[in-house]
Structures are given as structure tokens and as C-alpha cells.
Structure 1
Amino acid sequence: MAPSPHQVDQKLSRNALIALVVGSMVGSGIFALPASFGRTTGALGAMIAWAIAGTGMLMLAFVFQTLSHRKPDLDAGIYAYARAGFGEYIGFASAVGYWIGCCLADVACLVLIKATLGQFFSVFGDGTTAVAIASASVLLWGVHVLLLRGIKNAAALNTIATYAKIIPILLFIAAAAIAFDGRLFSMNFAGTEQLEHSDVLAQVRSTMLLTVFVFVGIEGASVYSRYALSRTDVGFATIAGFLTVLSLLVLVTLLSYGVLLRPELADLPTPSMAGVMEAIVGRWGGVFISVALLISVLGNYLSWSLLAAEVLHSAAVHRTMPSFLATVNAYKVPSGALWLTNCVIQTFLLVTWFAEYAFTLALKMTSAMTLIPYFFVAAYGLKLAWTGETYRTGERARVGDWIRSAVATFYAAGMIYAGGPKFLLLSSILYAPGTLLFLIAKRERKEAAFRPLEAILFAAITIAACAGVYALSTGAISI
């Protein structure tokens, strides 16, 4: 007999929350870093990119930490902060954008799993063959059944997977540090034969969406704050998880420049970390990293599935999404949200058949979709510090919170700009139909669809979506 809801304890410890943050962030991206950076920049550009991304995301982590303290009643992370700060439709847009970003991240995970298997079994190819898509679909619905059995069980599995994937990454870092060749690193330093400021800046800009992708998941503890044993654990888990992952990302990227020349890094197949390891210790090293990647990405996939369903469910509980998404099963799992999430992932998975570089597209689209919700979270932190809400008169923390929130807001806006118009148009194509969920919720509540400013915003999104569809149809942009 299935347990009743009051019999199920779904509370998460501080370590489980840290594992959720690390598990959400460490996934497919870190294993692709050597080639991804090798194709776009040298070591200097990589260091600048990580300095910018690390600072911007650290400030965002501090914003999440501050908001968890200042607004403990808002226990749904990204959605709740955007809604409280800027109204219902902005809150909805943040929720649906983040949700779609989670779905795309899961697609990236599935494609990478099959692409990795494709190095050993040709039938999987680059992860987008018919067999690869069919087997990924089986995995998708198998995990769906697991998640329906309970958040705590899934989080426990994620914690195990997190430790299992961190150990191989640490071994890679150790091996790369031992094999590090300063001469190769200096040859890869500029990324071009002549060190020009314009070239370095162009290289840095081309890597920025990549850096965003590997940091996505920083909000994991915040999204799941309603499950935390203690509210103070949420902020601690966010900062601790971020600093752990940042250290790993920087070391993996920079040490690889001391193992292979940049053109060799650029030509490595996915997962490129396996290629670097193979160059250091031989074929067994590549196999070892590939196995580690499979464990890592499976755990990462689990984290994203949890986050996607939770955001939808939280918005539905606040009646910003249709009521069927607020339903939970006997294990306190948001089953309605989970079903819709996996149906959307299945649809995106089928679309990869038509994408030339499915993994890279999913990676960059994930970044583009999540940057806008990140922007509103940072802006809400800035708004609180600016207005003084929740602060005592003369409280010294207010100035520091304002500075951190301002930097995080500027960073998110800058990353949206760095992504360029292509990804804004593609994002609009997903945002516009997603608004149907908002309209259904409004109809259930017997309320007018939009307020005046919301109507203007929706019209702008619709126009951008139409422009995006036209650009796709004419070949002006491609997937």
C-alpha cells in the first residue's frame, strides 16, 4: 500500500542540499570544457572569462543567500522572487523560462550520454541517431518512474551520484597537473599568433554562454528550500556548492592547455575531457573518464528533472500555473508537473534529430533561457536593498547587499547581450507558446488575462517569436 502524504518525510539535510547544488551544476558541461574552450579561446581568454563568470555568479550566489535570509517566506526560489518583485506575469515568465531551460539541460544530458556510448557503439553515433533517441526515450521514462517514488529517494541517489562523479574529476585534475607542460601552456596562452586586445575580447565573448551553462544549477538549494531542515542551510549550501564547482571548472579548463595544443583540444570529440585524459595515460584513461561522465550526467539529469518539476509545481500552488500542475502523489512528488516536464523533454529530444549540433544547441539554449530568470532574481535583490524593505534603519549590510545585487544584475544583463539576438529570438519562440499555461491559470481564476504593462510585454515576446520563426524559415538563423 502506498504511504499517505503525512507519513512521508521529504526533508533534506545541509549535505543533501549541497549535493543538490553541486549535482545540478556538475554534469555534461565540465566534461566538454577542454574542446569547448579550445575552439574559441586561449588560456588568457579562458582566465578572463572565468574571472568574469566567477565574479558574476558568486554575486548571484550571494543574492540567493541574502534572499533566503531576508525573505524566508518565499520558498520557491527563482519563481517566487521574480513574482514578489515584479508581478505575476514576470514571475510566470521566470518560472516557465527556467523550467524550459531545465528541460533543455536534460536534453543535453541525454544527447551526451548517447554520444559517449557512440564512441564505443557506432549505432549511437553523435547521440542523435534513431537508436540513440529511442534509447534516450526509454531512459527518460525510466527515470520518470523513479522520481514518482519520492523526492528524498531521488535526492539521496543524486547525492551518491555527486560523490561518484567528483572523484574521477579530481583524478583527472591530478593527472593533468602532473603532466602539465609550461611550454604548451605558453603556446596556448594568447589563442592567436599575435596578442591583440580585440582578439582576446572576441574570444572571451564567444565563451560566455558556455560559462553560464556550467553554472546553471546554482539555485538548486533555493528552489528546494521548502524541503530544507533549516533555512540557514539554504544560503550555506548555495555558496559552498558554488565555490566547489568553480574550483573544478577553472582547473579542468586551464590544466588542459598544458597537455595539448589548442587545435588538438578543439578537434577532440565529446566528451573532450576523455581525450585529454587519454593523451596523458593512454586509452584506459579515456574509457575511465567516459564511464565517469555517464555517472555524472545521469546524476545531473536527475537534478534537472527535480528542479524542473518543482518550479512548475510551486508556480501552480500560487495559482500562476494551471491547477493540474499543483497535484502531488502519495510520496509528495509534484506528479502533474513531472508528467508535463517529461513530455516536453521527449518533444525536444525528437527535435534533436534535425539539429546539426544538438548538444551545443541545447547547451546554449539552456543558458539563454535561464539568464532571464537569473536577471530578475538579481534585480529583486537590488530592489530590496534600494528600497530598504526588510532592512533596519542604518543597517550596514544594506550597502553590501546593494553592491552584490547590482553586480549580479549587470552580469546577467551582460550575458544576455553577449548571447546575441539569435538566442533571444529562439527563446521567444519558446516563451510565447508557454504563455498558454498562464492564460489557462487566469481562466481558472476567472480573471483578465493581462494587466496593461503585461499585455505590452506579451506582445513584444510574440513579435520576437514571429521574427524568430521567420528567421528559421528563411535560414537567417539555424539550429
Structure 2
Amino acid sequence: MEKKLGLSALTALVLSSMLGAGVFSLPQNMAAVAGPAALLIGWLITGVGILFLALAMLLLTRLKPELDGGIFTYARAGFGELLGFCSAWGYWLCAVIANVSYLVIVFSALSFFTDTPERVVFGDGNTWQAMLGASVLLWMVHFLVLRGVQTAASINLLATLGKLVPLLLFVVLAVAAFNYDQFHFDFSGLALGKPLWEQVKQTMLITLWVFIGVEGAVVVSARAREKKDVGRATLLAVLAALLVYLLVTLLSLGIVPRAELAQMRNPSMAGLLTRLMGHWGDAVIAGGLIVSVCGAYLSWTIMAAEVPFIAAQQGAFPRSIARQNARSAPAASLWLTNGSVQLCLILIALTHADYNTLLTIASEMILVPYLLVGLYLVKLTRGKQQPLALAIGLGASLYGLWLLYASGPLHLLLSVVLYAPGLLLFLFARRGGRGDVSLTQLERIAIGLLMAASLPAVWQLTV
């Protein structure tokens, strides 16, 4: 019998997927583009937007408790088979590519303990030793999740608590060392030579990505002990992450001047903690970074395997991917996911390719499901006596549109390259009328247009 996930496990899953490597570089990233005033405005806008999205997910778990695996099922229920599949495919592909980056980051951080100027072992995470280590870690996590999602989620809860320890240590020491005059100096960021709104816009491009993973509890909602815990976990994790991000970025500006912070090497929190507690600061943050990224990787492995599993149950992916093992783990989907990650690792090792462009394009694909969450809530509540729910749906939809605009419409257009092979899989899964519902004429035309658009998109990427 499958053990279900409680509120603490669900909250840890969401929080761990959001708090990855980025939080340790956030002080430098933010200081390089904005002063304190712009940071406060930027986090306010992001905080309101992400709370709208979290509340929209909470309401949908109450209005439609029968829809498991939210990211795919909300899109499918609201906007048809094709958009449902595109939502699932885009989410899964982004998770696979992001998991590759997590494995690279882990061994890049380990190089702090192993590498010397005379001897490079792990380097930037792209040496053969790093790729071999990444492959070992990949399959260790794989067999851990095969033992059951509950087992993996319990270990993730411990990893989440582990990653919060260095962050809490940093916050406590930063509060003790905080200098208000330092923080308030050049409050509006005049030294940057950019107007306040331009600074705010650039902070938004950074805050854009730090909440990716907010959907974690919704994705695994079928495995929740209580459906009401799904929305609660999402909201609790968002509030906790927002508090961490605010404290880390704002307190940092009260420790060193903004211009100096902007020049720090990343992870910049290591340099700050070294100032606060001596040479041990580097080691504490390097260790915290490794624990944090491993926890985020475990969370994303669970979520990446869940979406194709749910989609396969409803005919959008081949039915064989819906197979579970004796411990109710999505075994077939997990093999597909981690096999794809391993293939990417081998390709990187052989070609030494820079896959940052691919990661950016794939990340864009995860934003479309966020927009569809808000639009689906609007569709459900429009014309009904639910003004608050409708307002939340509109707020979440506007935030979803802002995310797509701020991250760059060009990358969204180029993402048709990644949709093309997915559409072939979709058509294969539905061959012989295997889909639960027939495609509409409009959906058939859209598939043809997407396939045709992939050719100029490939050309654009290669020139």
C-alpha cells in the first residue's frame, strides 16, 4: 500500500525545488543591477504576483480536487488535449534539462574541496571525473525514488532542513552586523546611472526564476494524504521562500557597499559569510550549496517523473509510461526521465557544449503552464458569484503574461524546436484512436503549424 505525503513533506518538496543554487548567488546578482529602493519594489511586485499564482493553485485544488497532477490536468481540462500535452511536455523537458544543470553545479561546488591550482579534478563540473560522479549520483537518486515517492520525500525533508541551516546562520550573523547607514547610502541606486524603473525591471529578470518550482505540491497532488494540504503547502513554501530571498538580498546591502558586492565572485554569500565568521565561511556555504542543490535535484526528479506518469494515464503520453512498480513509484516515467538526463550528460562530456541557450529556451516552456493555471481559474469562475476567486485568477493570469514578456518572447518562439519531437510522441500515443477525446480541427491545424514553424526556428538557432 502506498504511503501518502503529509503537509510537511509537501511543503519541503515545494520549498526545496525553489531554493536551489540561485539563493547563494542572489546578493551579487541583485547588487549588480539595482539599489535598495529598486530591490524593495521588485520583490513587492514579484511577491504579489507569486502569491496570486499560489492562491490560484490553492483554489483549484479546492474547486477541482479530482484533477491530479495539476500542471497537465488543469491545462487539459481547461483548454483541450493539445495544450494539455504541450504543458506536460514543456514542463518535463525543462525539468530534465534543469536536472542536468543541477548535477553539473553539485560537482562544480565540490571542486572547492578537491581542486588546487596544480590539480583540477571537478573544475566547473564538466570534467570527465565530474560527469562520472554526476552519473553515479543520478542513478543513486533514481533507485532511491524507485523505493517509493514517500521515502524520497522524507529524505528531501531532511535535505531541506539541512539547506536552511547555512541560510539561517547567514541571516543571524547578517542581522548582527547590519549597518543601516551602509544600507541607506545611495538608496535609489544613482551610482548605477539607470533610472529607478529600469533597475526594477532588471531585478524582475532575476526574481523571475527563483520561484520556479512553486507548482511542486500540485504536481504530486495524487500522492497527498489530504487534498487540502496541497494548497496549504504551496502557500507556506512561497511565503517561506519569499522571506528568505528578501532577507538574503536586503541584509547583504547592509554589510558591504553595493558596488563592492556587485563585484564579488559567486556564490557571493560565501564571500559575505567569510567576512562575518572568518575563513570557515567559504566551506559552510560550499557545503550548504551542495546540500541545497542535491535537495532541489531530488525534488525535481520526483516532479519530472510525475508529469509524464499522469499524462500517460490520460493518453497524452504512451500508455506504457504509466507503469508503476510494487512501491507505487512511477517506474517507467522515472527510467525515461533519468535515461534522458544521462544522455545529456554524455553529450556534454563528449562535446563540451554550452547548453545555457537550451536551458533558457526550455525554462521558457515551464512558464506557459503557469499562465494556463490562472486562465483556467478565470474560466471556472467567470459568470459565477465568486468575485474573489475571479480576481485571483485574473491576477495570476497577468503575472503569467508578465513572466513570458519579461523572460523574452524570442525564446518562446524558438521553443517550437523542442515542441516538434514532443508532438510526434503525442501523435504516436494517440495512434489508432487511443486518446480519450478526439482532437478538434483547430488542434490539428495548430499541430501542423507548430511542426512547420520548427524548421525556421532550427535555422534561427544555428545561424
TM-score of the aligned structures, taking structure 1 as reference length: 0.89
2:406 is equivalent to residue 455 of structure 1: no
Q: Which residue of 2 aligns with 1:241?
A: 237
* Distance in 1 separating the partners of 2:189 and 2:353: 26
Q: Which residue of 1 aligns with 2:218?
A: 222
Offset at residue 426 of structure 1 (A): 4.1
* Distance in 2 separating the partners of 1:134 and 1:188: 48
- Answer yes or no: is the 8 Å Cα contact 1:439–1:449 preserved in 2: no
Mark the CA change 1:348 to 1:316 in structure 2 (over 3 Å): closer, same or farther: same
* Distance in 2 separating the partners of 1:296 and 1:319: 35
Q: Which residue of 1 aligns with 2:315?
A: 319
* Distance in 2 separating the partners of 1:247 and 1:362: 31
2:136 is equivalent to residue 148 of structure 1: no
Offset at residue 188 of structure 1 (A): 5.8
Mark the CA change 1:234 to 1:449 in structure 2 (over 3 Å): closer, same or farther: closer
* Distance in 1 separating the partners of 2:207 and 2:87: 20
Give the unaligned 5+ runs of structure 2.
none
Mark the CA change 1:386 to 1:268 in structure 2 (over 3 Å): closer, same or farther: same
Q: Which residue of 2 aligns with 1:82?
A: 75
Q: Which residue of 1 aligns with 2:398?
A: 410
> Which amino acid is the alignment partner of residue 338 of structure 2?
N
Q: Which residue of 1 aligns with 2:425?
A: 437
Offset at residue 214 of structure 1 (A): 1.6
Q: Which residue of 1 aligns with 2:455?
A: 466
* Distance in 2 separating the partners of 1:38 and 1:127: 26
- Answer yes or no: is the 8 Å Cα contact 1:312–1:337 preserved in 2: yes
Task: Deviation per CA, 1:112-144: give whole Å up to 9, x if none.
Answer: 212212233232222223322232122112211
From 21, 27, 44, the counterpart of 2:20:
27
> Match of 1:123, SS?
coil
Offset at residue 407 of structure 1 (A): 1.0
- Answer yes or no: is the 8 Å Cα contact 1:66–1:401 preserved in 2: yes
Task: Deviation per CA, 1:50-99: give whole Å up to 9, x if none.
Answer: 11211111000000000000001101111110000000110111111111
> Match of 1:119, SS?
helix
Offset at residue 250 of structure 1 (A): 1.1
From 296, 310, 317, the counterpart of 1:300:
296
Offset at residue 300 of structure 1 (A): 0.8
> Match of 2:430, SS?
helix
* Distance in 2 separating the partners of 1:260 and 1:449: 61
Q: Which residue of 2 aligns with 1:5?
A: none
Mark the CA change 1:435 to 1:268 in structure 2 (over 3 Å): closer, same or farther: farther
* Distance in 1 separating the partners of 2:190 and 2:342: 41
* Distance in 2 separating the partners of 1:190 and 1:423: 32
- Answer yes or no: is the 8 Å Cα contact 2:74–2:376 preserved in 1: yes
Q: Which residue of 1 aligns with 2:343?
A: 347
Q: Which residue of 2 aligns with 1:477?
A: none
Offset at residue 370 of structure 1 (A): 1.3
> Match of 2:214, SS?
coil
Map 1:265-344 to 2 at 5 A: 265-344=261-340
- Answer yes or no: is the 8 Å Cα contact 1:20–1:158 preserved in 2: yes
2:165 is equivalent to residue 171 of structure 1: no
* Distance in 2 separating the partners of 1:206 and 1:158: 32
From 137, 140, 144, the counterpart of 1:139:
137
From 377, 382, 389, the counterpart of 1:386:
382
Offset at residue 159 of structure 1 (A): 0.8
> Match of 2:44, SS?
helix
Task: Out of 115-124 and 143-152, give the one that drifted further.
Answer: 115-124
TM-score of the aligned structures, taking structure 2 as reference length: 0.92
> Which amino acid is the alignment partner of residue 412 of structure 2?
L
> Match of 1:93, SS?
helix
Offset at residue 460 of structure 1 (A): 4.3
From 200, 204, 209, the counterpart of 1:213:
209
User: Alignment RMSD, CA only?
Assistant: 2.3
Mark the CA change 1:452 to 1:42 in structure 2 (over 3 Å): closer, same or farther: farther
Task: Deviation per CA, 1:321-350: give whole Å up to 9, x if none.
Answer: 111210111111111111111122223334
> Match of 1:193, SS?
helix
- Answer yes or no: is the 8 Å Cα contact 1:49–1:207 preserved in 2: yes
> Which amino acid is the alignment partner of residue 262 of structure 1?
R
Offset at residue 362 of structure 1 (A): 7.2
From 117, 120, 138, the counterpart of 2:110:
117
Offset at residue 364 of structure 1 (A): 4.1
2:66 is equivalent to residue 66 of structure 1: no
* Distance in 2 separating the partners of 1:430 and 1:334: 24
Mark the CA change 1:224 to 1:413 in structure 2 (over 3 Å): closer, same or farther: same
Task: Out of 217-226 and 181-190, give the one that drifted further.
Answer: 181-190
Offset at residue 374 of structure 1 (A): 0.5
Task: Deviation per CA, 1:408-427: give whole Å up to 9, x if none.
Answer: 10111111011113421443
Give the unaligned 5+ runs of structure 1.
1-7, 389-393, 475-479
Q: Which residue of 1 aligns with 2:387?
A: 399
